[in-house]
A and B are shown apart, each in its own frame.
Chain A
Amino acid sequence: MIILKGTNLSRVFHIAQQEQVALSPVSVNVYRGELLIVTGPSGSGKSTLLNILGGLDRPTTGEVLYRDQSLKALDEPALARLRNITFGFVLQSPHMLPDRTVLENVMLPFQYGSVMPGADQYRRADELLEYVGLAELAERYPNTLSVGELQRVVFARALVRDPEIILADEPTGSLDADNSGRLLALLEDQARRGRTIILVTHDEKAMTIGARHLQIDKYH
C-alpha cells in the first residue's frame, strides 16, 4: 500500500533574482512499512525531496499525496498537525532547544498538539529515552551531551508521537562509526516493527539496511 506518493516534484529557489533548481522533477512512491533509502550526489536534492515529502516545504511543481490526500490542499495548521502526528524528523544536525532538558526536548512535540495527560507524556518520553539508551541523561541539558547522544535524543523525539513515517536526513553524517552503528540499529529496529522510514544517506553502511533504494541524479 502506498502511504506517500510524490509526483513530478521539483523545487526552484529564487535567490537574488536568479533561479536555483534544488530538485529536478522526480516521482516517488513510499510503501507502508518499508525502509526506503534515498541516495544521490551532493546537490541532487535529496534533502529537498525529504522536506517536501514531510511537509516542511512546498514543491514548485508536482504534488505529494499522503494516503491519497494532497498536501497541497492542506492549509498551514493542518500541515503543521500532520508534521506533529504523522511525521518524525531526524536531521543531520541534532537540533535541540538549549534551555530545555533532554527529557523536555523529547517531549517538545507534545507541546504542539497532544491531548495525552501530562503524566503519560512523561512516561512515553522516559520509555523512549530508555529505548535509545539515554535514560540516565534525561535531566541533563543538550550542551552537556555528545553529538552521538544528541542524535539519539532527536531519534527519541521523532518517535514520541508514534508517527507513521520517520524521515531521516543523513542522520549518521556527523557521527563516528560507533554512534552511527547505534543509530542505524535503532532505525532497523523501527523498520522491523513496521514503521515506514525514508532515509537519505551517503553512508555505505546505512545503505545496506534498506530494502529499496531511490537514486536521485543531478540534472541541473
Chain B
Amino acid sequence: MQLFDEIWMDWKDALLGFRRRRVRSVLSGLGIMIGVMALVTMLSIGEGARKEAEDRIATLGINTIRVENAVENPAQQAGSVNLSVGLTLEDAEGLRQWLGKRGIVAFFEREDEVNIYATNREQSGTVIGSTPEWFALEGLTLGAGRSLIDDDTYQYKRNCVIGSDLSSRLHLETSDSIRINSEICTVIGILKPKGSLLTEGTGLSTLDFDSLVIVPTTSFPFPRVLGGKRVLDSIVIALDQASETTTLEIAEQVAEYLLVKHRGVRDYRMVVPIKLLRESQRTQSLFSLVMGSIAGLSLLVGGIAVMNVMLANVSEQTREIGLRMAVGASRRRIVNLYLCHSMVLSLAGGIAGLAGGILLAVLIETFAGWSVAFSMISLLLGPLSALLTGVVFGLHPALDAAAQNPAQALREG
C-alpha cells in the first residue's frame, strides 16, 4: 500500500476523532492558538519595525553621514564665550577638502513656513539654499525642467526648483515666476514626488521634499551670517562605496574634526544612518527574543495541553487500539494515527492562532499606531510551529498507544 494512502487514511481518522470530541479538541488547541497568535503578532510587529527602519535608512541613505545645526539661537551663541556659531560654510568646505575623493559633501540652509507667491496664489513652503551636489546626494529627480547647476550658484542666478506638491498647489510650470519675500525667482525645474525624509526618532529635522523651493545658496533670501561666518542648517556627506566599518570610521573622524573646529562645543547633531539601522536591529532582536520566549512558553503550555488530551484519548480508546491491531494495524500505523490526531489538534489551534495573530496585529497597527507587516515566513512559521508542537507533544501518547498489547487492549475498556 502506498505510504500516501496510509497517511491520508490516518488523517481522515484523525479528523473524525476531532469531530467526535469537538469541545475537548477546541479546548486543547487553545494553548497552541495563543502561542501561535503571539508568534504571528510578534513576527508581524518585528517585520513592520524592520521595514520601517529600512525605509528610514533608505531615505536617509545607507552610506551617508548627516550633521545638523543644534544651535537654537545662533546670535546668543555668537556672543557667548564658546565662540562657536554652529555649523558653518567653513565646516562644509573644510570637510570637503578633508574627504577628498572618498565622497561628496553637500549642505543646505533652510527657512520654514515661508509664504511663496505665484500669480493669484500663495502657499507656505520651505526654502532651501543649496548646491547642485545636494540633488544627487538626496536622490532628487526632476519631473520637468532642469536641476540647479554650478553656473546658477556662481552667477547668483535667481532660479529655483520646486517640489511636486508645492508646484501643483501653486499651478506652476517651468519658466513661471514666483516671489519669495521680495525676491523674484524663475522656476527652472519641478521635482518628481519624493515624500519626506523619514527622520522620526533620529533627532534630525524633518524635510518634506515635495514642499520645497530650492534656490542656489548664493541667492538664498534668508542668509544668516554670524561672526563673519555663513551659518548652515545641515551638512550631508555621502561616501563612495564605503563599507559599514569605513562609514563608521569616517563618521568618528568627522565628529572629531567638528569637535576641534567648534572648540569642544557640540553645537551640532550628527546622525549616521547605518548606526541607526544596527541599533534598530539590536532593539528588534531583543524584542523578538522577549516575544519569542512568550510565544515559546505558550506553545509549550499548549503542547502540554495537547499531550494531556491525547493521553486521555489513548486511555479512552484502548479497545479501539486493540481492535485496529487485531485487524492488522502495526505499531507504526498506531503511532502514525495518534501523531495525526495530535497534529490535527495543534494545527487547528495553529490556524486559529494565525487568524487571531493577523487580527491582533491589525488592531495594534490601528489603535497603537505601530507599523506591522506580514511576511510569508511569519505566516508559515505559525502553523508550522503548531504542527511541530503537535508532533513533539503527541509522540509520547502515540508511543503509549502503540505499546499496548492487542489482546489486553481488547479486554480493557
* Interaction A to B: yes
With A99-B16, A113-B1 known to touch, is A77 a contact of B405 (CB < 8 Å)?
no
Residues of chain B contacted by A84 (CB below 8 angstroms)? 327-328
30 A-B pairs (CB sep. < 8 Å): A48-B407, A57-B406, A57-B407, A76-B331, A77-B332, A80-B325, A80-B328, A80-B330, A80-B331, A80-B333, A81-B328, A83-B326, A83-B327, A91-B326, A91-B410, A95-B326, A97-B320, A97-B323, A99-B16, A108-B324, A109-B327, A109-B328, A111-B9, A111-B329, A112-B324, A112-B327, A112-B329, A112-B330, A112-B333, A113-B1
Whether A100 lies near B328 (C-beta < 8 A) is no
Is B282 interfacial (CB 8 A cutoff)? no
User: How far is B19's CA from A98's CA once the two chains are assembled, in angstroms?
Assistant: 12
- Inter-chain CA distance A97–B322, complex, in Å, is 11
CB distance B410 to A112 under 8 Å? no
Best-buried of A57, A81, A161 by chain B (most CB within 10 Å)? A57
**In the docked arrangement, what's the CA distance between A100 and B320, Å?**
12
B410 touches A56 (CB 8 A): yes
Proximity string of chain B (311-325) to chain A, C-beta cutoff 8 Å, 1 when within and 0 when not: 000000001101111
Please tell me if A115 contacts chain B, counting CB pairs below 8 Å.
yes
Q: Which of A48, A54, A95, A109 has the most CB of B within 10 A?
A: A95
CB contacts (< 8 Å) of B327 on chain A: these are 83-84, 89, 108-109, 112, 157
Inter-chain contacts of B331 with A (CB < 8 A): 76-77, 80
Closest to A76 in B: B331
| Residue-wise interface mask of B (279-322) relative to A, using a CB-CB cutoff of 8 A (1 in contact, 0 not) | 00000000000000000000000000000000000000001101
Residues on A with C-beta less than 8 A from B1 are 113-115
Binary contact readout A103-139 vs B (1 if CB under 8 angstroms, 0 otherwise): 0000011011111000000000000000000000000
The residues of B that contact A113 with a CB separation of less than 8 Å are 1, 328
A57 adjacent to B405 (CB under 8 Å): yes
Please report the C-alpha to C-alpha distance between residue A161 and residue B324 in the assembled complex, in whole angstroms: 14
Q: Which of B323, B329, B408, B410 contacts A80 (CB 8 A)?
A: B329
B356 CB–A CB distance under 8 Å? no
Number of A-B contacts (CB under 8 A): 71
In the A-B complex, the 6 residue pairs with the closest CB atoms: A84-B328, A112-B328, A80-B330, A51-B407, A57-B407, A109-B327
- Contact between B16 and A100 (Cβ–Cβ < 8 Å)? yes
> For the complex, what is the distance from the CA of A109 to the CA of B9, rounded to whole Å?
12
Within 8 A of A (CB), among B59-106: none
Question: Given A77-B330, A95-B320, A113-B1, are A56 and B16 also a contact pair (CB < 8 Å)?
Answer: no
B221 at the interface (CB under 8 A from A): no
Taking CB atoms, residues of chain A closer than 8 Å to B328 are 80-81, 83-85, 109, 112-113, 161
